[in-house]
A and B are shown apart, each in its own frame.
Chain A
Amino acid sequence: EVQLVESGGGLVQPGGSLRLSCAASGLSFSIYAMSWVRQAPGKGLEWVSAISGSDGGTYYADSVKGRFTISRDHSTNTLYLQMNSLRAEDTAVYYCANVGPQYYFNYWGQGTVVTVSS
């Protein structure tokens, strides 16, 4: 059974940092790309970042470029999102998702809540 379990969310002040983790099991973590998607309260889904499974290439939405860094640890099957210079508008549920071989998100985690507020 495939499982993606996010952690690391919480309350942080504007300008602060958080690191989200996504522990993967039951899938070939090293092969496939992984992504982060967020959903602000009452809003739609926003693609945030992705990392390739093959060459480790990274991709970011303009809204987070230069502030967020995606990475992955193949030895522990863990995906990360380092979030710096956080803003109120980064408040959201953050999901990690696996990018399947047919270019869609076939597995999702349950989400972790990030709240940026003073």
Chain B
Amino acid sequence: DIQMTQSPSSLSAAVGDRVTISCRASQFISSYLNWYQQKPGKAPKVLIYGASSLHSGVPSRFRGSGSGTDFTLTISSLQPEDFATYYCQQSYSNLKYTFGQGTKLEI
């Protein structure tokens, strides 16, 4: 199975900061990379799909980039509602869509 590795595991930042979260796949996955946001006690929500496409309704301060094995999620100006845990997910392997271990973004 394809392994996904995120860094860092946790991150402290302030409102207005620009933050970057990295995700690396254990093998080539083209642009089949998604990003999710999860808040405590809630189901995850998709932010970015296909490495760089913004899901409907997601603010433009979220940006995804990368291809092949290395990917990045950037939040350009943190808002209070952005403090959450973020997961990358590969969707290259036929329906075996594995996740990274998550990055907890804290104030």
Contact = CB atoms under 8 A, between A and B. Distances in A.
Given A103-B91, A104-B34, A104-B89, A47 B43 contact: no
Nearest to B1: A62
B95 A99 contact: yes
Interface residues of B, number: 26
B44 A105 contact: yes
Contacts, number: 69
Given A45-B87, A104-B49, A109 B98 contact: no
Given A62-B1, A95-B43, A109-B43, A104 B91 contact: yes
A59 B49 contact: no
B41 to A, nearest CB: 9
Range of interface residues on chain A? 20 to 34
Contacts of B50: 102-104
Contacts of A110: 43
A33 B98 CA distance: 15
A51 B55 CA distance: 24
